Structure 1
Amino acid sequence: MTYTLITDNQHLIDACDTDATVLALDTEFIRTRTFYAKPGLYQLFDGQKTLLIDPVAVSDLSPLWRLLHDPNRVSILHSGSEDIELLHHQSGAIPAQVHDTQLAAAFLGLGSQLGFAPLVEKLLGVSLDKAHSRTDWLARPLSSEQLNYAADDVIYLYPVYQMLMEQLAEKGLSEWFEQECARVAHKRVQVLDPNLVYLDMKYVWTLDRQALAILQALCAWRLAEARRRDLAINFVVKEAHLLRIAERAPRSLDDLAKLALSPMEIRRHGDTLLKLVEQALANPEHWPQPVKRLIDYPDYKAELARIRSLINASAEQAGISGDVIASKRIIHQYLSWKWRLGESDQVTPILLTGWRKSLLGTQL
């Protein structure tokens, strides 16, 4: 196997001098206790040469970023959401154009969440060794087996992409595929509204307005703290512990201790948590409204069945899988907009945008 391992700035500058407009791209990273992923290797294949770029050794990655941010180039990824998030955090932007082969496979009916190795075997008849998928990519030196594994991910990605693009073009699905790739890429790096994070918590629908106000404040603070310290969010304070605080509204450190928080959580954040509770309780006029589950709306089952029927009929007519048009989460987003937000013009559900709107808009 031929690849070039890049470990210094000048070699990266030279290696990124390419006229290729299509780049197979992958990243290897570690994300265990941190909020942001830590890059261990960037892999690039332009159809002729394979680059393995070591971000631990290379101090200036700007030549790589210029390559990926060039609007005249397409970056191929497979199941690239986490890669996009990493590249955005490291470079300040996402690649200018992203084509995701997992999405392409879904449009072609090969599977909605098909992994890279099964896709390569299905299309190329090659069985990839995935023994190093959980390796420590920050440890040095990287072994030849690790580097070969990393190189395979982009070398085989390139011909797989070419085959998938040909099939998409034959079926007239290229434009829809490109729209979906752009939507997914930009959605991955959208900034969360800290004041809405609490709505994604488990059992939020069981809480009254006071508890919701406390939880809203706690979740917004925890997200900011995780980002500030680059710490995985549950390593700040566990989700279950935030729910206990919201339900019980503790007013002292002794009250917190009775809720079975860890000693470290109380020692490090106890005073802050109590202050957030106090602030939330002091402003009842700003308490959120109770959260009603979608399944508790009287028309939920009938409307879900109606929308699924429309999706399946449209999918059959378009020659694609209904799962590509809408997951249950996307349908729920539409119902939430319809019932909870009163069809607000400040929010547009995914089902009413882009290629999905052309399929379903008038029927919905």
Structure 2
Amino acid sequence: MKVITHTATLTSFCDALSQAEYITVDTEFMREGTFWPELCLVQVAGPEDEAVIDPLSDGIDLQPLYDLMANETVLKVMHAAKQDIEIFHHEAGVVPTPLFDTQIAAMVAGFGDQVGYETLIAKLTKVRPDKASRFTDWAHRPLTDAQLEYALADVTHLRPAYEKLRERIGGNGRLAWIQEEMDKLADPGAYEVMPEEAWRRLKPKRNQPKYLAMLRAVAAWRDREAMARDLPRNRLMRDDVLAQIAARPPDDEKSLQRVRGIPKNFAAGRLGQGLLAAIEDGRSVAPGDAPSIPEPLQLPPGSGALIDLLKVLLKHKCDRHNVAQKLVATVADLEAIAADDDADVAALKGWRRDIFGDDALRLKTGEIALAAGRGRVQIVEVSAAPANEETEAAE
């Protein structure tokens, strides 16, 4: 087992892998007490070599690793890659590209919605990964050989799994199906932390300009302070406290200190003064400049049954094509289709429209129907126009 703790060794390892067709990549990190994830290990494997890289080693420079992540001639294979990418983006401003996420790929290869790593490895390689070291404190040093071997296995098992998955997807012509998802995953904008957008994390229900302007101001204050202090957001101030302040903004130190959930002596300190300044910023926002949330979709009367039928059609189509439902359409997509034939949803575009969207619209207009027979759902062509509401009422 190769454990890399020096820059020269890392440079040599990454130079060799820069000639590989693909590499498998995983990270171990800790985040319980910080805003940003603390990178503790990076595991990388090429077709014939593998190593554990220790970012916490004294004096090690990870730039050769980041250069490899940015090398567009080498495919980076990861499983459920979003958190790993977030770390690379934060540490070095790098998003690994090109990218192949085996969890997303498994969704078009018949393994269901968001299949876990252990399940996918077991199904593809017939090996059951050892998860005994799952709850390791990865920031602790020294790590045991068993812990390092556990970490390295995550990328060595991923090699044969990727090759079999790629062969299966390539054989049925579905590589293009997942490329759109890979492009979204590799978008650097998805990993930018923007304090002015932090209010959306609280998922407000009140679409009132004054409230939303205040919520934006105090949530942005919290994000900036949490990032500067490297503290989890809710350790600095809980979501429900921010919501209280946005609903009834305090005017001064005394009224801020009385807000439930505010720590003792908070209002008079630097954080309290910063929060009061943010509250004043929120008050100064003109109604026309306040953020807003989308109004709930107004569904036509009686559309609940249609949405249920669309759900059945979606399951039927996904079972037939052996693809995960979540990759084809969401419940929100189905509701939008029920309300509008030209809904701007992924389910009515590209390959999703081919396998589901067109028939969803035909079901909505009554050109096809769903029937049960021989123990399964079937699609039936409808020759006559469906009964109108008056006929149904008369019956």
Band the TM-score falls in, shorter-chain normalisation = 0.7 to 0.9
Corresponding residue to 1:16 among 14, 17, 38: 14
Shift of 1:184: 2.2
Deviation at 1:282, TM superposition (A): 3.2
Q: Partner residue of 2:66?
A: 65
Question: For 1:360 and 1:234, how far apart are their aligned partners in 2?
Answer: 41
Distance 1:38 1:357, change over 3 A: farther
Shift of 1:331: 6.5
CA contact 1:76–1:98 (8 Å) conserved in 2: yes
For residue 294 of structure 1, give the secondary structure of its aligned residue in structure 2: coil
1:135-154 matches, cutoff 5 A: 135-154=136-155
The correspondence for 2:290, drawn from 264, 288, 291, is: 288
The answer to whether the 8 Å contact 1:214/1:277 transfers is yes
- Which range moves more in the overlay, 182-191 or 114-123? 182-191
Question: When the two structures are superposed, what TM-score results if normalisation uses the length of structure 1?
Answer: 0.84
Q: 1:84–1:188: 8 Å Cα contact kept in structure 2?
A: no
Q: Distance in 2 between matches of 1:93 and 1:250?
A: 42
The secondary structure found in structure 2 opposite 1:151 is: helix
- Corresponding residue number in structure 1 for 2:330: 327
Shift of 1:32: 1.2
1:174 and 1:187 mapped to 2: Cα distance?
A: 22
Q: Would you say the 8 A contact 1:29–1:39 is kept in 2?
A: yes
Deviations 1:80-133 (A, max 9, x none): 110010111122111121111111111112121211112112222212221222
Structure 2: distance between partners of 1:261 and 1:68: 43
Are residues 285 and 121 of structure 1, via their aligned partners in 2, closer, same or farther at CA, if it must alter by over 3 Å? closer
| Counterpart contact for 1:205–1:292, Cα < 8 Å | no
**Cα separation, 2, equivalents of 1:52 and 1:45:** 9
Tell whether the 8 Å contact from 2:108 to 2:178 is kept in structure 1 after alignment. Answer: yes
1:263 counterpart SS class:
coil
Aligned residues of 2:43 and 2:51 also touching (Cα < 8 A): yes
Residue 237 (structure 1) shift: 1.5
Moved more, 179-188 or 43-52: 179-188
Q: How big is the alpha-carbon RMSD for the aligned residues of Structure 1 and Structure 2?
A: 3.0
Work out the percentage of aligned pairs sharing the same amino acid. Answer: 30
Report how many residues are paired: 350
Distance 1:179 1:268 in 2: 46
SS for the counterpart of 2:187 is helix
Equivalent-residue separation in structure 1 for 2:101 and 2:251 (angstroms)? 50
8 Å CA contact 1:34–1:230 kept in 2: the answer is yes
- 1:291 to 1:88, Cα distance in 2 relative to 1, 3 A: closer
Question: TM-score, normalization: structure 2?
Answer: 0.78
Q: Secondary structure at the match of 2:186?
A: helix
CA contact (8 A) 2:214 2:282 kept: yes
Structure 1 residue 134: Cα displacement: 2.0
Instruction: Choose 1 or 2 for highest CA Rg.
Output: 2
Residue 146 of structure 1 and its aligned partner are, at CA, apart by: 0.6
When structure 1 is superposed on structure 2, of 126-135 and 70-79 the one drifting more is: 126-135
Structure-2 change in CA distance of 1:292 and 1:155 (3 Å)? closer
Q: Which moved more, 1:124-133 or 1:48-57?
A: 124-133
Question: CA offset at residue 171 of structure 1?
Answer: 1.6
Match of residue 5 from structure 1: 3
Note the C-alpha offset of 1:231: 2.0
Structure 1 residues 284 and 178, CA, compared in 2 at 3 Å: closer, same or farther?
A: closer
Kept in 2, the 8 Å contact 1:304–1:331? The answer is yes
Say whether the 8 Å CA contact 1:30–1:136 is kept in structure 2: yes
Q: In structure 2, what is the equivalent of residue 210 of structure 1? A: 210
